[in-house]
Amino acid sequence: MIRLDCPHCGPRDQTEFNYGGDGRIERPGDDASLTAWNDFVYTRDNPRGPHVELWQHTAGCRQWIKVARDTLTHEIIAVGTMGDDIEAKIADPDRGGVEA
């Protein structure tokens, strides 16, 4: 039972959210290569450790959020809105208040 601290609603149980996959992937432009598009649709890293991912608070505010989660321990390292710089939050040693 992971708990995510939704930046809009506060801490909520994982059952309120839908998982949305790797949050670092950018959609290529129309002029991108076939390889870039192939990677976008089909290729995913499978990291052991911190992973930035997208979740949607489907049973709450319906907002998509960014979550940095450790895939090994399920520790929630940081959460942020789509506009937040999640990498900066991960790097912030005083990120505090984020509960696993």
Partner 1 sequence: MSKPCPINDHRLPTGGLIDRQRQKSFVFDGRRYCGYEGDTLASALLANGVHLAGRSFKYHRPRGIFSDGPEEPNALVEMRIGARREPNTRATMVELYDGLIANSQNRFPALSFDLQAVNQWLSPGLVAGFYYKTFMWPKKGWMFYEHIIRHAAGLGTATLEPDPDLYEKVHAHCDVLVIGGGPAGIAAALAAGRAGARVMLCDERPDLGGTLRYEEREIDGKPALDWAGGHLAELAGMPDVTVLRRTTAFGTYDGNTVGLVERVSDHLPTPAPFQVRQRMWTVRAKKIVLATGAIERPLVFPNNDKPGVMLASAVRSYIRQYGVKPGERAVLFATNDDAYRTALALNEAGAGVTVVDPRGEHGTAWPERVRDAGIEVLTGHVITSLKGRLRVKEVLAMESDGRGHKGSPRPIAADLVAVSGGWAPTLHLATHAGAKATWDEERGSFVPDMTKCRADMTVVGSANGTNTLSGAIEEGFATGAAAAKAVGKSAPDPISVEVDDPAEAPVRSLWKVEPAQGQPSKSFVDLQNDATAKDIEIANREGYISVEHMKRYTTLGMATDQGKTANVNGLALLAEARGQSIPDVGTTTFRPPYTPVTLGAMVGRHTAKHYKPIRRTPMHDWHTDAGAVFVEAGLWLRPQYYPRPGEDVHAAMRREVKMTRNGVGLCDVSTLGKIDIQGPDAAEFLNRTYSNGFKTLAVGKARYGLMLREDGIVYDDGTTSRLGENHYLMTTTTGHAVEVMGLLEYYAQVLWPELDVQLTSVTDHWAAIAVAGPKSRTVLADAIAGIDFSNQGLPFMGVADGTLDGVPARVFRISFSGDLAYEIQVPADHGHQAWKALMAAGEAHDICPYGMEALNIMRIEKGFVTHAEIDGRTTPGDLGLDKMASRKKSYIGRFLLEREALKDPDRPTLIGLRPVDGKATIRAGSILVRDPVTAGPDDMEGHVTSQCYSPTFGEPIALALLKNGPNRIGETIWATFPLYNVSVQCEITPTVRFDPDGSKVKGETTDA
Residues that bind partner 1 (CB under 8 A): 1-3, 14, 18, 20, 27-28, 30, 32, 34, 37-38, 40-42, 54, 56, 58, 62-64, 73-75, 82-83, 99-100
In the bound state with partner 1, the residue whose beta carbon lies nearer, of 1 and 45, is: 1
| CB of 33 or CB of 46, closer to partner 1 | 33
C-beta of 94: minimal distance to partner 1 in Å? 20
Q: H or E element: which one contains 89?
A: helix 86-91
CB of 95 to partner 1, least distance (A): 18
User: Torsion over CA of 25, 79, 50 and 59, rounded to 10 degrees?
Assistant: -80
Residues with Cβ within 8 Å of 52's Cβ and at least 6 positions away in sequence, in order, are 22, 23, 24, 66, 67, 68, 86, 87, 90
Question: Contact 5/79 with Cβ under 8 angstroms?
Answer: yes
CB of 10 to partner 1, least distance (A): 14
